[in-house]
Chains A and B, each alone.
Chain A
Amino acid sequence: MNFAFLHKYASLMHFYRLSHTLTPWLAAATLALFAWGLVGGLLLAPTDYQQGDSFRIMYVHVPAAWMSMFVYVTMAVAGGVALIWKLKLAEIVSRACAPLGASFTFLALVTGSIWGKPMWGTWWVWDARLTSELILLFLYLGVIALHGALDDRRAGARAGAVLALIGVVNIPIIHFSVEWWSTLHQGATVSKFSKPSIHIDMLIPLLVMISAFQCYFAWSLLVRVRSEILDYDRNASWVRELGRAQEAGR
């Protein structure tokens, strides 16, 4: 199989141009999905028979928690690609994932804490999932710190990639922690393999919100990657031309 087309899009210039057309679509999709998900989740979904209206924070908490793990895996995979094929683009993506993932993790922890107060009567418990999420935050912060500790961007991105790959062992531990340790946290309610234990009217807004978070992640990742590309390639002729064109258009 011919992978030449991949190299074309892995080149920073082509990716920059491709992302230019993608960004507005992703932004529009993000806004539309957020509007649908938030109205559906906060206004239209039926009230929970046990938790009342306070379950609605789920529509932010669950997507944020999903994203916290998804972004880590994305960061590790991009890091692996960067290490194996030495693709600049993968380095940039891996590097750009870290602060985004840390933000999702922080959001999941804060919303979980706010949800926990009325449900469990406490802001924080040393429950397996909460603790793993906190460890995940520290893993992200470690990767960010390592990026900052190296002066050379490329070396920093590759060192962060090694750390992300080492830390990815933590992701299955998070996933199976519910079974490993006795826990207060409710079990997963959305599963591919069995009938979900959540009403369909509650489930649809949740899935919409998850897609909205995914689109938001893709959008903000692209914005970050685009500015990083310009910084990486600032001495390349195409970036200089871009700059001149902007000057002329002003």
Chain B
Amino acid sequence: MTPATIIAAVVRRELLRAVRNQAEALYPLLFFALCVLMFPFALGTDSALLSKVAAGVVWVAALLASALSLEALFRADYADGTLEVLVVGGASLPLLGLGKAAAHWLLSGLPVLVLAIPLGLSLELQPALLGTLLATLALGSVCMSLIGAAISALTVGLRGGGLLLAMLILPLYIPVLIFGASATANAALGLPVAGELYFLAGLLVLALTLTPWATAAALRIRMS
């Protein structure tokens, strides 16, 4: 089997699971939408204020949705022993990690990206900024899924699971958030955003190169 077919098989399996358990697949999206909707209640409906914070709110909500949905990434495989079989059986763990991260992005990153359009507009986000927000969110959410897969593998099956995972992962998301949010802030001022996009792409390449090995090491430790 080539690496691509292994990744495709992992992704296919995750997508199939999502299709068969559609309610659970919707949780991250509903959480994302609810999280965004809390802000008008908290900050009031002043459209000037909302317009100013819209991009940041969408970013934070996407971050939280990603962090909370990661807990389930390895949970089922851990509970029914699949993970143990894969580790003991000598499966390529970095490729498994890549496949899991890709599936996580397809199931939570991509839908959040689509949902960010109406939610951002509902917060009076200037339509001109939408392109920048989506571009940064697209690059950033892939980074988040990749880093998240490693931390998810590290904490699978531990007590305090979800909260522990969120606590470990949020500090690691900060660089992504900084470049994502500052790109939209620059775009609002009419400044160029290429620098931030390049930085996000750099972080993405770094994460793509390193995190599969971290995921593999984490799985080996947790299953030994």
Contacts and interface: CB of A to CB of B under 8 A. Distances in A.
Instruction: Decide whether A and B assemble into one complex.
Output: yes
Interface of A: 83, 135, 138-139, 141-142, 145-146, 149-150, 155, 158-159, 162-163, 165-167, 169-170, 173
21 contacts: A138-B171, A141-B167, A142-B171, A145-B160, A145-B164, A149-B158, A149-B164, A155-B222, A159-B154, A159-B218, A162-B217, A162-B218, A162-B221, A163-B151, A166-B147, A166-B150, A166-B214, A167-B171, A169-B206, A170-B172, A173-B175
Interface of A is mostly: helix
Q: How large is the interface on B (under 10, 10 to 19, 20 to 34, 35 or more residues)?
A: 20 to 34
A149 B224 contact: no
B224 A155 contact: yes
B6 interface: no
A142 B222 CA distance: 17
Interface of B: 147, 150-151, 154-155, 158-160, 164, 167-168, 170-172, 174-175, 206, 211, 214, 217-218, 221-222, 224
Most buried by A among B154, B211, B224: B154
B158 A83 contact: no
Contacts of A83: 217
A145 B167 contact: yes
A232 B147 CA distance: 32
A120 B164 CA distance: 35
B218 A142 contact: no
A145 B168 CA distance: 9
Query: Which 9 pairs show the lowest CB-CB distances between chains A and B?
Result: A142-B168, A138-B171, A149-B158, A158-B221, A135-B171, A162-B218, A162-B217, A159-B221, A139-B171
